[in-house]
Amino acid sequence: MSKILITGGAGFIGSHVADRFISLGHQVFILDDLSTGKKENINPEAEFYNMDIRSRELDWIFKDVKFEVVCHHAAQINLRKSLEDPLLDSEINVSGTMNLLGNCVKHKVSKFIFASTGGALYGEQDYFPADEKHPIRPQSPYGFSKFVIERYLEFCEKSYRTRYLSLRYSNVYGPRQNPEGEAGVVAIFCERFFNKREAIINGDGEQTRDYVYVEDVVEANALALEYKGSGAFNIGTGKETTVNTVFNLLKQKIGTGQKEIHGPPIPGEQIRSVLDYSKAKKILGWEPKFDLNEGIEKTIVFYQQR
């Protein structure tokens, strides 16, 4: 049994990871400032700290608990906000993560699992799907922040022997995803369809994404916990799906009559994004189990019950 700190553990992905780690018998501690996370997502068996990752008070928590693993999911994830306020994006995603890493080094945390990104790191791809050797070409401050932290993680491993796994997620979807932001079209479309509100497709809707179900992402975190080495791994499905396809699939399954409504494209948004997960399969033993049709059906049930 390990003592594990999960940042962003009241949020979409982090709360699912916390549930899984607790079910595996680990002692889980959640750090979240509830700016986007929700109290109802917090597993009652976890100890909760209502705190920002930038807080200097983290030192006494690390000193008191003596974590063995940090699983870092807290972040500013809004692409548009990162373009409008790159300083805030950097303060949270870079300075906040550096605060965590500094405490990991100081208090001898043995492993750091980082929720990184695939699409925002690789930018417009040279080939499809992109593997981990693809050139890094972020097109937003958000993507740059993930790139910077991955370099810091390499430094910490070489200098302080802090093992790390950078899990480069594709577009994660599923229950508990926040439908109020701009990230996560599955959640946004579900919420709007069920509440009879217009769902706007950014641009022509032909931009593609690699949609991976949250339970598959949780499995990747569980395998990362057991892995003895370090490195970066793509966590995706290797399949491209257009936003228009997702819109129409949800429209059909929910039974709404809304027509496609297109708005302006988001500056910096990629045209195509899809990840090669063969490295994760070979080394971690991970591969996606849920196809888009099954994952969307499970997601619809969640938003229908809400």
For the annotated catalytic residues, the residue numbers are 142
Tokens of 87: 């300083």
> Which residue from 124, 120, 130 is spatially nearest to 83, judged by alpha carbons?
120
Handedness of CA 201, 131, 231, 155 (dihedral sign): negative
Three-state secondary structure call for residue 271:
coil
The count of C-alpha atoms lying within 13 angstroms of the C-alpha of 277, restricted to the half-sphere facing its C-beta, is 24
Residue type, 273: S
Tokens of 249: 């699939």
In contact, 140 and 183? CB cutoff 8 Å: no
User: Phi and psi for 259 in degrees, rounded to 5?
Assistant: -85, 165
In contact, 16 and 215? CB cutoff 8 Å: yes
CA distance 254 to 249: 9
Handedness of CA 172, 175, 176, 181 (dihedral sign): positive
Residue type, 261: I
> Which residue from 223, 110, 227, 213 is spatially nearest to 169, judged by alpha carbons?
213
282 contact partners, CB below 8 Å, separation of at least 6 = none
Residue 63, CA distances (Å) to 7, 24, 59, 258, 279 in order: 17, 25, 6, 54, 36
Three-state secondary structure call for residue 267:
coil
Longest dimension (CA), the chain: 58
